[in-house]
């Protein structure tokens, strides 16, 4: 997503400047070309050399630098930028951006650019709450800028409140979202399920599986980064919510079923990456089951098949339905049976015995099988890239 993108990173004078170093580093590692423009205030907190060392690019601090890389620096950077990110953005820099002032290299570049603008405020809570700041942020929003945060927590002043610069992973999510807003899924609603459901045996024990939720979360992020509005019905227990994705937390198969059925009427596509329990304990004990030393048998009842339940909703002109099949043998044959049995538009057959694939891994190896039972074997890819390959198919199905 970020590879080859030109990011102008505006850094203004806040103690949160130290976090911008991490952002510049992560953007560069992701393959972006990062041009940092620092305000005078920012140079009092961290040095231009620190940014230059991380981005391997000149850092702009002076609008009148005779040794600048470009003859008319602000115009060149403004033209080449795919996105302008101001992080941290102080009260003063937000006010200048809102008014369209151009009295330093950053604000001059911003008014000269057509690139999308992402503003990540960082300031004391009272400064953030001030009506002038709120009005300025609203003015930027109305002009199409994306405002990222601020987060809530302990501030440098010792106060607690809204004013913290978002952390790097969240900012990266906002940047990917802003870059992808006009993508091929813009205006579409995609419902994704993720994680392994947990079926209670008693108040302390559950029947569950090894799904971490990574595949579903990567899919949700990939759909967001192509412009979709994403609803993530999640049974994952340990993953942070992806920025700008609506997360509906669930635990059991029945809760996941209810949540999916509630959201699919507005959906253009449903992608079931979750590992849903096929069976649940017939009834959960009210109290913790005591150890007796005797054999314990727990009767199981089948759960509702969620994909099958959505079939009635997806009439002509209905939504695209995509399943996954986690298989340990006869991958393609078993997955083909599921395509037909659940009347799916597409299935991602997941070989969970393959190295680096399936539960908990950051990568996955899947074979795509469509409604006509055509087979496409994909190589080992990151889960985000697998998500994109599935979304390529979804986007194509939605165009027809």
Distance CA 368, CA 348 (A): 5
Instruction: Find the shortest distance in angstroms from Cβ 327 to ligand PMT.
Output: 7
Instruction: Find the shortest distance in angstroms from Cβ 220 to ligand PMT.
Output: 12
Q: What is 111-147 written as a DSSP string? A: HH--S-EEEEE---HHHHHSHHHHHHHHHHHHTT-EE
Q: Which of 253, 259, 320, 331 binds ligand PMT (CB under 6 A)?
A: 253
Distance CA 110, CA 174 (A): 18
CB closer to ligand PMT out of 28 and 303: 303
Instruction: Find the shortest distance in angstroms from Cβ 354 to ligand PMT.
Output: 11
Helix (H, G, I), strand (E, B) or coil at 281: strand
Distance CA 102, CA 127 (A): 22
- By CB under 6 A, the residues from 205 to 244 that bind ligand PMT are 211-215
Instruction: Find the shortest distance in angstroms from Cβ 242 to ligand PMT.
Output: 14
- Count the alpha carbons within 13 Å of 336 in the hemisphere toward its beta carbon: 10
Instruction: Find the shortest distance in angstroms from Cβ 86 to ligand PMT.
Output: 34
Helix (H, G, I), strand (E, B) or coil at 40: helix
CB closer to ligand PMT out of 293 and 299: 299
Helix (H, G, I), strand (E, B) or coil at 307: helix
Residue 209 appears among annotated catalytic residues: yes
| CB of 15 closer than 8 Å to CB of 45 | yes
Give the interface size with ligand PMT as a residue count (CB under 6 A). Answer: 26
Q: Is 292 exposed, middle or buried (0-12, 13-18, 19+ CB in 10 A)?
A: exposed
Q: Is 67 exposed, middle or buried (0-12, 13-18, 19+ CB in 10 A)?
A: exposed
Instruction: Find the shortest distance in angstroms from Cβ 322 to ligand PMT.
Output: 8
CB closer to ligand PMT out of 247 and 307: 307
CB closer to ligand PMT out of 324 and 384: 324
- DSSP-assigned beta bridge partners for residue 323: 272, 347
For residues 127 to 146, the per-residue mask of contacts with ligand PMT, x marking binding by CB under 6 A and - elsewhere, is --------------------
CB closer to ligand PMT out of 135 and 376: 376
For residues 93 to 122, the per-residue mask of contacts with ligand PMT, x marking binding by CB under 6 A and - elsewhere, is ------------------------------
Q: How far, CA to CA in Å, does 1 sit from each of 29, 30, 154, 225, 298?
A: 12, 8, 32, 8, 47
359 binds ligand PMT (CB under 6 A): yes
- Short-list 199, 205, 209, CA closest to 291: 205
Name the active-site residue from 67, 209, 350, 374. Answer: 209
- By CB under 6 A, the residues from 270 to 329 that bind ligand PMT are 272-276, 278, 303, 305-307, 323-326
Say how many C-beta atoms besides its own lie within 10 A of residue 329's C-beta. Answer: 8
Instruction: Find the shortest distance in angstroms from Cβ 359 to ligand PMT.
Output: 4
Q: Which of 100, 144, 169, 360 binds ligand PMT (CB under 6 A)?
A: 360
CB closer to ligand PMT out of 214 and 224: 214
Distance CA 214, CA 226 (A): 18
Parallel/antiparallel/unpaired status of strands 6-11 and 151-154: unpaired
Stretch that binds ligand PMT, among 130-138, 164-172, 198-206, 269-277 (CB under 6 A): 269-277
Stretch that binds ligand PMT, among 112-120, 124-132, 285-293, 350-358 (CB under 6 A): 350-358
CB closer to ligand PMT out of 88 and 323: 323
The token duo for 10 is 């505006």
Catalytic residues: 209
The binding site for ligand PMT (CB under 6 A) comprises 211-215, 253, 272-276, 278, 303, 305-307, 323-326, 338, 350, 352, 358-360
């Amino acid at each position: 997503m970020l590879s080859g993108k030109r990011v102008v990173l505006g850094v203004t004078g806040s103690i949160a400047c130290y976090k911008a170093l991490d952002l510049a580093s992560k953007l560069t590692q992701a393959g972006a070309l990062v041009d940092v423009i620092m305000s005078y205030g920012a140079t009092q907190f961290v040095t231009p050399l620190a940014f230059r060392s991380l981005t391997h690019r000149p850092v702009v601090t002076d609008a009148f630098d005779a040794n600048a890389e470009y003859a008319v620096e602000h115009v060149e950077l403004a033209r080449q930028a795919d996105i302008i990110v101001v992080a941290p953005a102080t009260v003063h820099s937000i006010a200048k951006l809102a008014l369209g002032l151009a009295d330093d290299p950053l604000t001059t570049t911003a008014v000269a650019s057509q690139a999308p603008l992402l503003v990540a405020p960082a300031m004391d809570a009272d400064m953030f709450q001030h009506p002038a700041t709120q009005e300025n942020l609203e003015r930027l929003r109305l002009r199409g800028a994306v405002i990222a945060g601020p987060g809530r927590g302990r501030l440098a002043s010792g106060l607690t409140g809204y004013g913290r610069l978002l952390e790097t992973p969240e900012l990266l999510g906002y940047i990917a979202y802003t870059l992808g807003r006009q993508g091929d899924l813009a205006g579409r609603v995609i419902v994704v399920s993720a994680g392994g459901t947990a079926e209670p045996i008693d108040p302390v024990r559950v029947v569950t599986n090894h799904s971490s939720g990574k595949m579903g979360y990567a899919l949700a992020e990939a759909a967001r980064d192509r412009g979709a509005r994403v609803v993530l019905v999640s049974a994952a227990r340990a993953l942070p919510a992806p920025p700008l994705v609506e997360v509906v937390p669930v635990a059991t198969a029945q809760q996941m079923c209810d949540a999916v059925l509630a959201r699919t009427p507005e959906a253009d596509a449903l992608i079931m990456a979750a590992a849903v329990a096929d069976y649940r304990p017939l009834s959960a004990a009210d109290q913790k089951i005591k150890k007796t030393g005797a054999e314990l048998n727990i009767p199981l009842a089948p759960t509702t098949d969620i994909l099958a339940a959505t079939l009635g909703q997806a009439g002509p002109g209905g939504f695209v339905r995509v399943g996954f099949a986690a298989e340990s043998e006869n991958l393609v044959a078993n997955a083909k049976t599921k395509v037909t049995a659940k009347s799916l538009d597409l299935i991602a057959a997941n070989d969970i015995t393959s190295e680096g694939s399936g539960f908990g891994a950051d990568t996955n190896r899947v074979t795509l099988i469509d409604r006509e039972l055509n087979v496409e074997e994909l190589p080992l890819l990151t889960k985000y890239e697998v998500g994109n390959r599935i979304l390529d198919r979804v986007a194509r199905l939605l165009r027809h």
